[in-house]
Amino acid sequence: MKSWITYNSNCDFSIYNIPFGIYSINGGKKRVASIIGSKVIDICELFKNGYLVEFPELNTSVLENEYLNDFISLGKKSTSKIRKKIQHLFSNENYGLSKNFEHQQSILLNELEVEFHLPIRIENYTDFYSSMDHARNVGTMFRDPENALLPNWKHIPIGYHGRASSITVSGTNFCRPMGQTKAPDAENPVFGPSKLLDFELEMGFVIGKNTELGNAISTDEAADYIFGLSLFNDWSARDIQTWEYVPLGPFLSKNFCSTLSPWIITMEALEAFRIKGPEQNPKVLDYLSFKQDFHFDVNLQVSITPEGSEETVVSNSNFKYMYWNMLQQLAHHTVNGCNVKVGDLYASGTISGPEKGSFGSMLEITWRGTEPIKMKDGTERKFINDNDTVTITGFALKDDVRVGFGKAEAKALPAKVK
């Protein structure tokens, strides 16, 4: 496919993509949008100008909306057809909208002139721990290297319920968190700003339909419940986490902020990038076994940009490194009857590959701060400094088909110390 909207070959938002998000202009009404190249497509204006008449389920209340939840709730049968229609409208083979410059004025907007918003209303958020390389690295650092993985790790997709209210859209800066920390040689903890602020390279998947309390989702059904994927940075305060996480897991060390990219990439757009995952040994229990390949070859990169300086790439990783896949995560999450809602967000957990250059956190990259990394401006980083901007990007590429994710980016501001 080719589009009459021009873009270069390494553009994230080719006509093969057609993601969905929410935008506004100058504080105006929020609307459902897509994007090709650098042109944001106002889907509400497409509807108002008669380009989506074959979709009676659409209306202005769905499309002129703060979130995508109502749009997603139309179901994949509808949203997939709407996505394909948008592809057709903007392909070289269609001459309607491409020649109607008056309609283009209201439908197409410059990416740099609009504001993007959190794309979904997130009532529930779960963070998994599904990268074996990451789990092994952390276990080696903090426990016995010979028994880095806990006994349950290869039997259960480990996860915990996180805080949904502090998930923010890319571009939303945050203050360094405060909390209790305790030095190894100290008798008592102290209170103050975290000194070991870290990023966590993750992917998030969005639930596309509801279930009732008491019903489980099998691995055979799970793909139908996943609307799409976004980049995710689950910021972490490692020193606060070390002191608080036993016995109930992270709390203040994780709930202060997470960063989500503004575009949700549909599963249809990612179909060509499905691959076989790693062999799981020992054999999983029956409810976690699956038939279809559901790992994805998505290149991921993390960079740090000190204030007033240039960015330094600190990680090149890939979503394919996950041990547990999304089908298993969702099946495990619901096997006890836990219900899910449209817009619920599930994060992969930190994505790390087998080599240092593919690790997904500063904790691993600098090996708990013992091996600082050099920035291009000559400074060093053990963890994230005040006014550093961390940017996560991602794209899938096969032959000439590229589907990108945009970016999840935020700056760490100094703590609000009273």
Residue 239 lies in a domain: yes
Residue 362 lies in a domain: yes
- Which residue among 94, 117, 140 closes a domain? 117
Closest to 259 measured CA to CA, from 337, 200, 343, 325: 200
Query: Global pTM?
Result: 0.97
**What is residue 333's predicted lDDT score, i.e. its pLDDT?**
98
Same domain, 159 and 76: no
Q: What CATH number has the domain bearing residue 56? A: 2.30.30.230
Report CA-CA distances (Å) from 285 to 99, 136, 216, 254, 290.
57, 22, 15, 30, 10
Relative to beta strand 401-413, strand 174-175 is parallel
**What is residue 389's predicted lDDT score, i.e. its pLDDT?**
98
**What is residue 418's predicted lDDT score, i.e. its pLDDT?**
78
**Mean pLDDT score of the chain:** 97
pLDDT, one tens digit per residue, over 372-415 is 999 999 999 999 999 999 999 999 999 999 999 999 999 999 99
Residue 9 lies in a domain: no
In which band, very low, low, confident or very high, does the pLDDT at 417 lie, cut at 50, 70 and 90? confident
Residue 418 lies in a domain: no
Residue 143 has pLDDT above 90, yes or no: no
- Which residue among 98, 117, 136 closes a domain? 117
Mean pLDDT value of segment 32-44: 98
CA 280/CA 376 separation, integer angstroms: 40
**Parent domain of 231:** 125-413
Say how many domains are in the chain.
2
Enzyme catalytic residues: 134
β-partners of residue 215 are none
Same domain, 237 and 348: yes
Residue 282 lies in a domain: yes
**What is residue 10's predicted lDDT score, i.e. its pLDDT?**
95
184: left (phi over 0), alpha (psi -120 to 50) or beta: alpha
In which band, very low, low, confident or very high, does the pLDDT at 294 lie, cut at 50, 70 and 90? very high
pLDDT, one tens digit per residue, over 63-77 is 999 999 999 999 999
Same domain, 214 and 352: yes
CA 34/CA 14 separation, integer angstroms: 11
pLDDT, one tens digit per residue, over 204-256 is 999 999 999 999 999 999 999 999 999 999 999 999 999 999 999 999 999 99
